[in-house]
Structure 1
Amino acid sequence: MSPSTCDTAVSVDAPQELHPSLVHHIVNTLEWPSLRPLQRDAVAPLLAGEDAVLLAPTAGGKTEAAVFPLLTAMERDRWEGLSVLYLCPLKALLNNVLPRLQTYTSWLGRSAAVWHGDVTESARRRVRTTPPDVLLTTPESLEGMLVSTNTDHHRLFAGLRAVVVDEVHSFAADDRGWHLLAVLERLHRLAGAPLQRVGLSATVGNPAELLTWLQGSGRDARPGRVVAPDIALPRPVPNHDEPPPGDIELDYVGSTQNAATVIAALHRGEKRLVFCDSRTVVEELGAALRAKGVTTFLSHASLPLDDRRRAEAAFAEARDCVIVATSTLELGIDVGDLDRVIQIDAPASVASFLQRLGRTGRRGDTVRNCLFLTRSHGALLSAAGLMHLWGQHFVEPVQPPPEPRHIAAQQLLALSLQENTVGRALWPEAWNGLAPFDTSAQPILRHLEDEGFLERDGEMLFLGPAAERRYGRRNFMDLTAVFTAPPQFTALWGRTEVGRTDPLLLIEQVQGPRVLLLGGRSWEVTWIDWSRRRCQVQPTDLPGKAHWHTYSLGGASFALTRATREILLGAEPPVRLTQRATSHLAKAREEYATTVHSGASVIARTGTDVVWWTWGGFAANATLAASLSALADERQRFTDTHLRLRADLTPDMWRAGTADAGERLCLPQVDERAVSGLKFSDALPVRLAEATLAQRLANLDGAQLLLREPQVFNIEAG
C-alpha cells in the first residue's frame, strides 16, 4: 500500500527510523529543516509500541510527534483498516486537526476521516463501508458507534492498534476521563489486544501519574514513558528559582466597561484574544467593544457552531481585531498568529493560564505575553496569587475525580446496549479488571436490576424498560454523553439561530420589551414556544441582558487560596503591576489586614459572627464545616477563605473541640441540587450518589493541614 521510497532533496535532522516518504515530505512539502526535540525523542518509544505522554507548550508540534511514528509503524507492520484513533475533547479541535492528518496519511497512500455530531450521515456511511486508517473523533461519538445498530463495531474496530488522546489533561480532570478509559477498555476487547496509548498535553504538575492513569488496565503490564524535552517538568511543590519567561502585566480596571475602554485603546493594529471565564462576561464585553468601534468576534458554547467557525476563521485572517472567548479557545484550535492575550479577572488554575499564555509568542519576533484586567479586589488578589504560583514554577497536578460510580452505572447500561445481552458473571471482563468497572460495581449492578434499568433472563443481562424510558430518546443519545448540559432556549431570527439562552431570562419580570444579548448584539423577544424551548427574536438597539446558570461543586483550590493569602502578607508576584494595580493591591491588603497573620490562621469576630479565616480553599473549608459541627455555626455559609463558627466560641472551647479533629474528619454535606446535577445519578442508589459527590467535595489533606496550623484569636465582643 505504501508508495516507493523517495529520495529527499535536502537532508533533514530526523531519526532514520521514520518512513522515508514521511522524511521526504517533511523536507520538501513542509520545508522543515529539522524536527523539534519532542518530535525526535518520541520516535523510538512509539515505534517500540510503548505508551507515552508527550508534553510540549501549545503549538509545540505534539500532533506530529505522535502521528509520524504511528504512521511509520502502520507501514512497517502492515496495519490494515481502521488502526489509529485520534481523540479530542472538542469537535472544533477535531475539525482543526483533520486537514493536517489527511495530508500526512495521503503521503503514504493512507486516509483519515472525522466522526462527530456534526458529520453527515453519508460521511458516516463511508466510514462504515470503507474505514479510514485514522479516525478522528470524541469519546462520546465512539460510545455512539459502539451502541448503534447501524455500525458493525466488531468489524470496524477489529484492527485497532493505537489511540492518540489530544489534550489528555482536560479529559483526566473530569468524568469524561473515566468514560474515555472505560471505552478504551471495551475497544481493547473488540481489537483482541491492548491498544498503544499516546497522550498529548501541555504542562501538567504530575505527568508520570497522568501516564499511569492513561494506561488503564495496562498500567502494570505495559512499558510507558513521559517525553518532554521542550520543557522543564513542573514541580508540584513551589520553589523560588527565577520566574519563568513571559511578558505579564497586571492591571485593575474595576468594571467590564472599563476593561472594554482599555482594550479599545491599547495595542491598536494588533490581533488580541481576550479570555473571560463566563459566557455572560463574553457577551457584555463583546457588546461594549463593538460600541467603541472595535472589530470584535465572540466564541462560546451557547453560540451557533457555524457562527463560531466564521468568527474564528475571520479572526485568523484579520488584523486589528479582538476575539472574546471562554475556555473554548484555550485548547489548541488554530486562530492564527496572535499578538496579545488578555485575561479578564483570573483563570482558576496555573495550568489554564499556561494554556492561554501559550497562544502567543509563536512568531520568532514575539514573546509570550498576557495582560490581566481585573474588575474587583477579589479578582486582583486571585490574579496576583496565581502569578505568585506561576513564578515559583508550580503547576497543579491533574487529579481524576474520585469514585466515579455513576460512570460505572452508565457503562453497565452501555455495554448491555452494545452487546444486546451480557453474561451476569462475565461483565467485568469487558473492562479488563479496571476499577471501578470491575466486581466492585456489584452493588450498582444490583440496583440497576432492582430498579428495572437491567433485566435478567437466567444468567444473561439485557437493557430493561426503565433504561428505555429514561435514556431511549433520540437513539440513546443521553446515554453516550457523561456531562449534563443545563436546559437552554434556542433564539431564532426567522429561521436563523442566533444562540441559546438561559430560560431564566424568559420568565423574569421586566419593564418594557424583553431584550437578550447574544453574539454581542441585542435581540428583542417577540414570541416564546415553551414546549419546544424556542423563542423568536428581532434585532433592536435597546440594551440586552445575558445570563447562563451554572452549578459548581466547589470554588478556588487550596494552593491558589493559600497563594492569595501570601499576597496579602506581602509577597509580590513576579510580573509588572500598573499604578492602578499597585494602588488597589495596597487597598486590598488594608481591607483584608485583620484576616491574615504570618504563621497562623485568624479566628476573629466580625459584628455578631465569629469567623475562621482559613484561606484554605472551598473543599478544605467544606470538610472543616462538616467535621467541626459542634463548633461551626449551623447557619453555615463557608467560602474559599473562611467559615463561620458559633457565636459563643471561646479559645478553650476551640482547643477542646479540635484536639482530635484531624483524626475524625467527615465528608461534607451534599446539596440535593448537586445530586440532581450528577448525570446518571438516578441509576445509582441515593446513598452512593451522595457519597460520590461528598468525596469529590472534600479535601481531607488540606483540612488536616489547617487544623495543625496555629490560630490567633480576636473574638472579644465589641
Structure 2
Amino acid sequence: MSQSQSTSFDLLDERIRRWIWNEQWTELRDAQEQAVPAIINADRDVIIAAATAAGKTEAAFLPILTAMLSSDTMGLTLYISPLKALINDQFSRLERLCEALEIPVWPWHGDISGSLKTKFLKHPEGVLLITPESLEAMLCNRGFAVPRIFADLRYVVVDELHAFIGSERGKQLQSLMQRIDSAVDRKTPRIGLSATLGDMQLAADFLRSDQLRPVHIIQSKSEGGDLRILVKGFIELASPDDDDEKEKTKVVESVSSHLYKVLRGSNNLVFPNSRAKVERYTYALRQMCEANNVPNEFWPHHGSLSREIREETEAALKNKELHTTAVCTNTLELGIDIGSVKSIVQIGPAPSVASLRQRLGRSGRRKGEPAILRGFVIESELTANSHLMDELRLDVFELCAMVSLLLDNWFEPPKTDGLHLSTLVQQLLSLIAQKGGITAVNAYSALCINGPFNNINKSDFVALLRHLATKDLIQQDSAGVLLHGQKGELIVNHYAFYASFATEEEFRVITGSRTLGSIPLSNTISVGDFILFAARTWKIEQIDEDQKTIFVHHHVTGRPPSFNDHGGMVHDHVRERMKALYESGDAIQWVDTVAADLLDQGRVAFLRHALRSRVLTQAGRNVLIFTWLGDMANEAIASMLKLRGFNANCFGPAIEVFNAEVDRVADTLLEFSNEPMLDPIVLLHGAYNLRQEKWDWALPDDLLQKSFASLRLNIVVAHKWLVTNRSTILHALN
C-alpha cells in the first residue's frame, strides 16, 4: 500500500500499519479512508454510514486505537452494541488486532464472569464492549464509581445506530451517554456506525441531541455489486370444507417445496415475519430433507429460542464445510458475523424498506457475487364472495412497492419526535440509584433540559413525579431529595430493571368460561371492536388491561378485521408507491407469471371500484375509507371514528368501518375536517391497549395518551388528509 494510494494509511500507528500489511490488505476501503482523519484527533462526533461488510468497525477502530497508542495514558473506548452476540463477534475481531498492540479488550454482558469484570474495574482502560442494559446496571450499581471508571474515556462507539433510533432503547442509550458526559464533566466524542440510515441529519441529532456542535457525516461510496430480484406469487386455495388451516398448510408446503429446490447447497436467510411462521417453514423444510434422505440444511433462529439453539444456527452458517439456510426473524437482520449468504428470502411484505435493505446487505458480500432477493407473496383464491381487499392483492403490491423504493435508494427516515415517557420513568429511577437521591430540579435538568427528554415540559414532569409517588415508586424527603419508594426500591434492585423495553405480551381471549388462547395486539382496542381468532370473528365485550385479558362473544360480521402481522408500521411513502403501482399499467420485470397475474387482478379491481379518485366505498355491510396513508395516520383516523361510536380498524391502505353506511361515515369525516386538530387526550379517550412500552403502567392517563400518540399516531397527517379530501368526501354523499 503506497502513499500515493492512501493518505490515511500514513496517519495510522506503525504497529497498526504493520498489522494491515500482515493481513494482506491491498487498500483501505472508502469508509476507512474518510474515517481516519475525521476520528483520529478526537475533536468531533462522527457517523459512518456504509454498506454491510464495508469495513465500518475497522473504519472506527483503526484511528481510535492510533489515538490511544499516541497518548501518554491508554485511556478507554466504550463500544455499545444492541446485541450480546454482536459483542462476542466484535471481541473476536478486535482481540486479534489489539493483542499485538497490547491494548486489552473487555466484553461485558450477562454471560461474562464476575472475575473478568472485577479485573476491568480495577484498571478501566482499553476497549469495553457492552450493551445498553449492562451499562445501565453499571451506572445504577456503581454510581459513585462512575466518574472514576470513565475518567479517561476517549471515545464512545455506537454500533448498528439505526437499530436504536426512535425506540425506547434508543432513548435509554441517549440518556446513558449524557449521564456519563455529566459524570466526567466533558463531552466525549461519539462515533455512530450504521448500514441503514434514512435521514442523516436525524441520525446526527440522535447521536448528539443537544446539537451544540455539528456531527461529521461519512457516507461511503457503494461497494455493492449486481442485484438480482425475483418476486414469486402463490395462491392459497379457498377451502370447500371451511378448513382454512388445511389450505394454509398446503400453501406453506408449496412455498417450502420451491425453497427446498432453490436453496439447498448454499447459505441463505429466510424471513417469514413471525416466530410462528419461522417454526412452520423450518419444520416443512426439515421434513423434506428427511423424506429425501439428505442431511438437514434448514435451521430456525428467533428470540424465543434458547441461546444454545440460536448459536447452533449461527455456527452452522459460519461453518464453510456446511450448507445452511436459517429461517429467522429480525434476530439475524443486524450485524452478527455469519459470513456471506447467497440469497435473502422475504416471505410477505417486509416490516419496512429499511429492514429489507438491511437484510439484503447480508447477500452478495463476496467480490463478484450478486446480491439476490427472492420475494414470496401469498394471496387468497378469488371466489364469488371475495372481499374487495382480497381483490386488490394488497400483499403483492406492498412488497413490490417496497422493492421499488429500495431500487430508488429510499428508505424510511427514523422517527425521533416520540415522547418515550416509559423510558423517562426508568431513567429517573436509575438516576436516583446512581446519585443516591436527587432533587426534582436537578433531575429535570439532567434528563430534560440537558438530556434527551427535551420535549417534556416542566408541568408534565411535575405531574409525572406526583403520580410516581402515588405508585410508591418514588418519595421525597424533608430536604426535597427524591428517593426510591418501597416498590421502586424492589424494582430497581431486580435484574429485569435494566432493560428499557418490554418483552412481547399477549392478551388472553376468553368467551364465557372458556379460554380460547392468547393473541398479541399492537393496535388500540375498545369495547365493541372485533377481533379475528381461531378462524372466527369475536366482538369485545370487556377489557381487563391489568390482567391482559379480553372477554369476547362470537359475532358474525361481513369481514373479519385485519391486524398487521409483519411487524412494522408502514410508512406513508410506501402506500403512495402502492397507489402509483395500481395506477400504472407498466409491467414489472422482476416478478414471475403468477405475481404478474396478481398485479393485473389488483389493477382491474382498483379501476373497477374507481379507487384512483374515490375515497369511500361500501363493501357489504362495512365501509372502506381509502386514504393511501401510512399506519400511523390511518390509526389516528380510526381513533377519531371510534370517538363517534364506530367500530373501525386499519386495513392496509384503508380503514374499515364495520356495520356502517357511507353517508354516516362521510358526515363524520366532514365534521372532523371542519374542526381543529384533536388533542391526543381527547382522541384516545376510552381507548384500551395504550400500554405498549415497559413502564407505561406507571404513567397517569393523560401522559400515557400523549406518549402513545407521539409514538403510534400521526394526527397532523390525518387531519391534513381530512381537510385536503373534503370535496371528495362530500362527493360521496351525492
TM-score tier after normalising by the smaller chain length: 0.7 to 0.9
Counterpart position of 2:330: 327
CA contact (8 A) 1:406 1:679 kept: yes
Counterpart position of 1:496: none
Query: Is structure 2 residue 70 aligned with structure 1 residue 76?
Result: yes
Out of 642, 654, 661, the residue aligned to residue 654 of structure 2 is 642
Counterpart position of 1:493: none
Question: What is the DSSP-based 3-state SS (H/G/I as helix, E as strand, rest coil) of the residue aligned with 2:441?
Answer: coil
Q: 1:231 to 1:399 in 2, by over 3 A?
A: farther
Report the Cα offset of residue 336 of structure 1.
1.7
Matches within 5 A, 1:282-681: 282-293=278-289, 294-317=296-319, 318-376=321-379, 377-400=393-416, 402-431=418-447, 433-436=450-453, 440=458, 441-457=461-477, 458-469=479-490, 471-472=491-492, 475-486=493-504, 555-570=569-584, 575-594=589-608, 597-598=611-612, 600-627=613-640, 634-644=646-656, 646-647=660-661, 649=663, 653=667, 657=671, 660-661=674-675, 663-667=676-680, 668-669=683-684, 674-681=689-696
CA distance in 1, matches of 2:143, 2:636: 48
Q: 1:643 to 1:551 in 2, by over 3 A?
A: closer
Q: Give per-residue Cα distances to partners, 1:253-289, cap 9 Å, x unaligned.
A: 3432222101111144222211121111110000000
> Which amino acid counterpart does residue 315 of structure 1 have in structure 2?
L
Counterpart position of 2:50: 56
Q: Percent identity?
A: 27
Question: What is the DSSP-based 3-state SS (H/G/I as helix, E as strand, rest coil) of the residue aligned with 1:311?
Answer: helix
Q: Give per-residue Cα distances to partners, 1:446-495, cap 9 Å, x unaligned.
A: 333344322222132221112124x14xx33232111111469xxxxxxx
CA distance in 2, matches of 1:277, 1:78: 51
Counterpart position of 1:112: 105
CA contact (8 A) 1:425 1:459 kept: no
- RMSD between superposed Cα atoms in Å: 3.3
Matches within 5 A, 1:155-304: 155-217=148-210, 219-220=211-212, 222-231=213-222, 246-254=227-235, 255-293=251-289, 294-304=296-306
> Which amino acid counterpart does residue 647 of structure 1 have in structure 2?
E
> Which amino acid counterpart does residue 623 of structure 1 have in structure 2?
A
CA distance in 2, matches of 1:382, 1:601: 20
Question: What is the DSSP-based 3-state SS (H/G/I as helix, E as strand, rest coil) of the residue aligned with 2:690?
Answer: helix
CA distance in 1, matches of 2:634, 2:684: 12
Q: 1:205 to 1:676 in 2, by over 3 A?
A: closer
Question: What is the DSSP-based 3-state SS (H/G/I as helix, E as strand, rest coil) of the residue aligned with 2:153?
Answer: coil
Q: 1:571 to 1:355 in 2, by over 3 A?
A: farther
Paired residues, what number? 638
Q: Give per-residue Cα distances to partners, 1:588-629, cap 9 Å, x unaligned.
A: 33344455533x342111223332111212211222234467
Report the Cα offset of residue 644 of structure 1.
4.3
Query: Is structure 2 residue 18 aligned with structure 1 residue 24?
Result: yes
Q: Give per-residue Cα distances to partners, 1:124-181, cap 9 Å, x unaligned.
A: 2222223341111111110011112599333222221211101101101311111000
Report the Cα offset of residue 433 of structure 1.
1.4
| Structure 2: segments with no counterpart, 5+ residues | 236-250, 290-295, 380-392, 518-562
> Which amino acid counterpart does residue 344 of structure 1 have in structure 2?
I
CA contact (8 A) 1:338 1:360 kept: yes
Q: 1:705 to 1:460 in 2, by over 3 A?
A: closer
Counterpart position of 1:711: 728
Q: 1:555 to 1:13 in 2, by over 3 A?
A: closer
Question: What is the DSSP-based 3-state SS (H/G/I as helix, E as strand, rest coil) of the residue aligned with 2:411?
Answer: coil
CA contact (8 A) 1:12 1:34 kept: yes
Question: What is the DSSP-based 3-state SS (H/G/I as helix, E as strand, rest coil) of the residue aligned with 1:679?
Answer: coil
CA distance in 1, matches of 2:51, 2:367: 15
Q: Give per-residue Cα distances to partners, 1:653-703, cap 9 Å, x unaligned.
A: 478536535x42454427865333421123322221122112222213432
> Which amino acid counterpart does residue 621 of structure 2 have in structure 1?
T
Of stretches 647-656 and 603-612 in structure 1, the one that deviates more from structure 2 is 647-656
Report the Cα offset of residue 44 of structure 1.
1.5
Q: 1:671 to 1:370 in 2, by over 3 A?
A: farther
CA distance in 1, matches of 2:113, 2:30: 39
Counterpart position of 1:685: 700
Q: 1:176 to 1:79 in 2, by over 3 A?
A: farther
TM-score (norm 1): 0.82
Out of 67, 89, 95, the residue aligned to residue 102 of structure 1 is 95
CA distance in 1, matches of 2:433, 2:729: 59
Report the Cα offset of residue 61 of structure 1.
0.7
Q: 1:370 to 1:700 in 2, by over 3 A?
A: same
Q: 1:117 to 1:151 in 2, by over 3 A?
A: farther
> Which amino acid counterpart does residue 233 of structure 2 have in structure 1?
Y
Query: Is structure 2 residue 127 aligned with structure 1 residue 137?
Result: no
CA distance in 1, matches of 2:716, 2:406: 22
CA distance in 2, matches of 1:33, 1:596: 60
CA distance in 2, matches of 1:702, 1:39: 41
CA distance in 1, matches of 2:407, 2:169: 31
Of stretches 602-611 and 350-359 in structure 1, the one that deviates more from structure 2 is 602-611
Q: Give per-residue Cα distances to partners, 1:11-56, cap 9 Å, x unaligned.
A: 973512221211111112x211110111010112212321011010
CA contact (8 A) 1:250 1:371 kept: yes
CA distance in 2, matches of 1:596, 1:154: 66
Report the Cα offset of residue 109 of structure 1.
1.4
TM-score (norm 2): 0.80
CA contact (8 A) 1:565 1:596 kept: no
Question: What is the DSSP-based 3-state SS (H/G/I as helix, E as strand, rest coil) of the residue aligned with 1:694?
Answer: helix
CA contact (8 A) 1:169 1:201 kept: yes
Question: What is the DSSP-based 3-state SS (H/G/I as helix, E as strand, rest coil) of the residue aligned with 2:101?
Answer: coil
Query: Is structure 2 residue 61 aligned with structure 1 residue 42?
Result: no
CA distance in 2, matches of 1:465, 1:174: 29
Q: 1:385 to 1:364 in 2, by over 3 A?
A: same
